[in-house]
């Protein structure tokens, strides 16, 4: 007889006002909703290989995460902010609303299932993901990020 596991509740991590923290850890304990409002400099590690991480960001600052996750969802981003996920590996990325002067740097990803880029927002991606649905409004851009590696010798 199999025991049916109950789904884990969504965890909510919220930062309001002025915050600086570079040692955040988002683990593999169910879906996470990450909210940042105000002025921020946040970062850390994500390890959610069975769950999704949803970001809602409004304000000015920088958010940097590395690690691995199954599904990265950018629900809403507005303001003058940078979301650096260049060292985060994802199976799927979803960008529902990216507005303002936001910049998103996306690391190795297999599928970008939705990308809605507006105003002066920019989405940079590092490998060749499959785009299934995207829209660009205003001066928004979606560009491939080419890295220049200096010769160490």
**Where do the domains of the chain lie?**
11-144
pLDDT single digits (tens) 58-99: 999 999 999 999 999 999 999 999 999 999 999 999 999 999
The parts of the chain modelled with pLDDT lower than 70 are 1, 4, 6, 147-153
pTM above 0.75, yes or no: yes
Identify which of 136, 143, 106, 135 has the alpha carbon closest to the alpha carbon of residue 120. Answer: 136
């Amino acid at each position: 007889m199999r025991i049916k596991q109950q789904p884990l509740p969504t965890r909510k991590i919220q930062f309001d006002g002025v915050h600086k923290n570079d040692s955040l850890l988002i683990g593999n304990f169910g879906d996470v909703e990450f909210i940042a409002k105000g002025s921020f400099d946040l970062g850390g590690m994500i390890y959610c290989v069975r769950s999704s991480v949803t970001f809602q960001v409004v304000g000015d600052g920088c958010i940097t995460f590395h690690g691995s996750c199954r599904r990265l969802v950018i629900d809403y981003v507005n303001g003058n902010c940078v979301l650096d996920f260049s060292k985060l590996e994802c199976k799927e990325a979803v960008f529902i609303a990216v507005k303002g002067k936001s910049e998103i740097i996306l690391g190795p990803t297999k599928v970008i299932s939705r990308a809605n880029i507006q105003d002066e927002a920019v989405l940079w991606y590092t490998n060749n993901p499959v785009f299934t649905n995207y829209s660009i409004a205003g001066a928004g851009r979606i560009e491939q990020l080419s890295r220049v590696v200096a010769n160490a010798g």
